[in-house]
Amino acid sequence: MSDQTTSAFDARHAWTTLSRKDPAKRSAHDRIADFLEIYGFYDEVEAREQASRCVQCPEPTCVAGCPLGTNIPEWLALTAEGHFAEAAAALHSGNNLPEICARVCPADHLCEAQCLISGQAQPVSIWAVEQFLNEYAFTHGIVKPSVAPPNGRHVAIAGAGPGGLACADGLIRRGFAVTIFDRRELPGGLLVYGTPEFHLERSIVQRRVELLRQQGVVFELGTPYAEETALPALLQRFDAVYLAFGAKVPRSLALPGADLNGVHQAVPFLLQAGVDHPGSKLLVGGRRVVVIGGGDTAIDCARTAIRRGAAETTVVYRRDAGSLPCMRRDYEAAVEEGVRFIFQATPVAILAQAAGGVTGLQLARTSMGAPDPEGRRPFEIKAGDSYILSADVVFLALGFDPAPPPPTSPSRLLDLGEHGEIKVNARQMTSLPGVFAGGDLVRGPCTALAAVRDARMAVEGIEAYVGTRKPLG
């Protein structure tokens, strides 16, 4: 890089002259023909330019917006200076799965929403610089298996989703032996079974899992937690246990016609679209698909339907476009790919033909009220203002509720909150000493990033706990 270019990066207030530029996307025509990721990566010049838009706030609001509290300005400054290896090391020290979080994290609702230059200019493209650094780190051999000396302690982790993988990484780097149990055949949890590859390709998760295996993590897959790995049995064999399996159920719809053949939850559709799944597929080719909802699952479902050959795909959302809870860049990608959006409408009935199949929805128009103290705008159904939208298949993507442990679950041994969530202390330890928990089990439905945050706290807690205990004989 020339001195002239370097001095440009050194200039303060680069954001006033440099516009935000996200990495290039593949054309919509090309990307709906496959399930691969849609964004490319910055080259080194672009990464430096975009990172230089950060003004290095003395009290960085982006850090406050990050559930992990990652030191974002530190690695942005290092990137702007061209010290990519150091920047990647700083990024990786604050996040066990940065290459995964950068792909699934709703940055535009978190760190980028808090970026100080927002309002005067587009926020710093934090997610894309992070993507660049992750790719740089892997392709330049900076991410290596850790070689911490063994400490003689062994921890069981129940669940190979993001929380379980992050906890395993944190523990193995401190010398613990780690065994992860998961009832599914592939590690990754919802990263594999519920996240379309246009967000997160399987190879990215496999790369991380392979790294963990190289570090000595043992995966026992296809093992139902509630049976072979029940808590009392685990505590006989391991110094500590971390519970990190998902616990959420998709919300249903209490409407006439909601039980019709042709009305489905979005999650099973994503699951069977994402992983080679034995048995029948839910086919949408040539059919008119309507998705109800406006979150990430709704948009993922619509974009998956497009890739599966749906004739028309429409998302119906009860609020306005500005209230969509999904990531903005996903909404824009969905529009480019041919998804149609109907805002300020909500179904009041799902309609059927005589044989029982779906023919459409009766939609009522809604009006929006003033924002509540949390900025959420309530909506009301406009009386007498409804119309019919034709459809063959309806997917429900209405969010998730906590899934309390069933009566036979070993988790019933633990203190639970009123919604069945497991109670933990500040270091994620449950009421049963040596048993730790995080993610959905503790918070109710939560993001991968929150699961990683809990895992990092649990690593601290487990280390402190085993330090007070004799090793198992």
What is the contact surface with ligand SF4 in residues (CB under 6 A)? Answer: 54-57, 60-62, 72-73, 76, 115-117, 124, 126
Task: Please say which residue, 12 or 470, places its beta carbon nearer to ligand SF4.
Answer: 12
Task: Please say which residue, 115 or 266, places its beta carbon nearer to ligand SF4.
Answer: 115
Q: Is the dihedral of CA 79, 81, 84, 88 positive or negative?
A: negative
Q: Is 244 left (phi over 0), alpha (psi -120 to 50) or beta?
A: alpha
* Closest distance of CB 65 from ligand SF4, Å: 8
Q: Is 203 left (phi over 0), alpha (psi -120 to 50) or beta?
A: alpha
Cβ burial 88-111 (10 Å sphere, 16+ → b, else e): bbbbbebbbbbbbbbbbbbbbebb
For residue 463, what are the CA distances in angstroms to 151, 423, 428? 10, 19, 12
Task: Please say which residue, 8 or 113, places its beta carbon nearer to ligand SF4.
Answer: 113
Task: Please say which residue, 118 or 206, places its beta carbon nearer to ligand SF4.
Answer: 118
* Closest distance of CB 456 from ligand SF4, Å: 21
Task: Please say which residue, 117 or 416, places its beta carbon nearer to ligand SF4.
Answer: 117
Task: Please say which residue, 76 or 446, places its beta carbon nearer to ligand SF4.
Answer: 76
Residue 314 CA to residue 359 CA, distance in Å, equals: 14
* Closest distance of CB 170 from ligand SF4, Å: 25
* Closest distance of CB 108 from ligand SF4, Å: 13
* Closest distance of CB 74 from ligand SF4, Å: 9
Residue 91 CA to residue 113 CA, distance in Å, equals: 19
Task: Please say which residue, 118 or 386, places its beta carbon nearer to ligand SF4.
Answer: 118
Q: What angle do CA 412, 418, 424 make, to 5 degrees?
A: 65
Task: Please say which residue, 18 or 348, places its beta carbon nearer to ligand SF4.
Answer: 18
- Bridge partners, residue 179, by sequence: 156, 218
* Closest distance of CB 397 from ligand SF4, Å: 31
- Bridge partners, residue 220, by sequence: 181
* Closest distance of CB 112 from ligand SF4, Å: 8
Q: Which residue has the tokens 């999650």?
A: 267
Residue 77 CA to residue 74 CA, distance in Å, equals: 5
* Closest distance of CB 15 from ligand SF4, Å: 7
Residue 154 CA to residue 239 CA, distance in Å, equals: 6
